[in-house]
Chains A and B, each alone.
Chain A
């Protein structure tokens, strides 16, 4: 066995991941967030039944979180060093999204969707690069580029974000079924 083959195997270990688990988790999170963004669009566009719609959004988020936690309890078949790093990056990224969303909401509320889309897209693309995942890289880029359309159609930014998230969720679903 030559040294290149050995180093390739080491890299494979670093990039090792439970593809099925990741696919399911990404599908759930993208699908539920797409539904929530559709509801936010409805709230912003009609200003009717706001409390009921907010309640449904929270229920959807809770449902998504429960499904992901249940899936995690079953265990992953591989947890690599890159997985560990990504978990930390995502954790800090989510803190960044939450805190910055609050700031953006108070200064430029009309740009909230644009901000969330680009930051989440960056996180997804970073994970795609680390694990050599075409879907995640493409999904991340799709989210980043969709912010350009959101700026043109500011009133529909959450609808666009929801549609893009739904596309990414479907791509993950197709990948699981492969």
Chain B
């Protein structure tokens, strides 16, 4: 299994993004209820591995950060979910 899936936060981020076209950074922050620094470091790791895309758009007040899951990210997460389902079905 990919080492990306070793972290619970990263799995949660991918699970949330799996059914979405895109979302803002604050949406994930609110849903997962974790700290800003923690979320940002995990997002950067996912972006580095090409699981997600992070785009920034300048606004009049601040910056709008949009996060989107990539095809690779979707495929990998689907595979991980299938493995997990198989594993849980095999359990006595």
Contact = CB atoms under 8 A, between A and B. Distances in A.
Nearest to A13: B19
Given A11-B19, A16-B19, 12 more contacts: A3-B85, A6-B11, A10-B19, A12-B16, A12-B31, A14-B20, A16-B23, A77-B23, A78-B27, A79-B22, A81-B21, A82-B19
A100 B26 CA distance: 42
A83 B27 CA distance: 15
A77 B27 CA distance: 7
12 contacts: A1-B11, A6-B11, A6-B84, A10-B81, A12-B16, A13-B20, A16-B27, A77-B23, A77-B26, A79-B22, A80-B19, A82-B19
Given A6-B15, A13-B15, A13-B18, A1 B8 contact: yes
Contact of A10 (B18, B22, B31): B18
A84 B16 CA distance: 16
Contacts of A1: 8, 11-12
Given A9-B12, A10-B18, A12-B16, A75 B81 contact: no
A150 B11 CA distance: 52
B49 interface: no
| Binding site secondary structure of chain B | helix
Interface of B: 8, 11-12, 15-24, 26-27, 31, 64, 81, 84-85, 88
B20 A10 contact: no
Contacts, number: 63
Interface size classification for chain A:
20 to 34
Main secondary structure of the interface of A (DSSP, over half): helix
A4 B75 CA distance: 20
Interface in A75-106: 75, 77-84
Contacts of A84: 21
* Residue of B20, B64, B88 with most partner-chain A CB within 10 A: B20
B56 to A, nearest CB: 13
Given A3-B88, A9-B15, A13-B15, A81 B8 contact: no
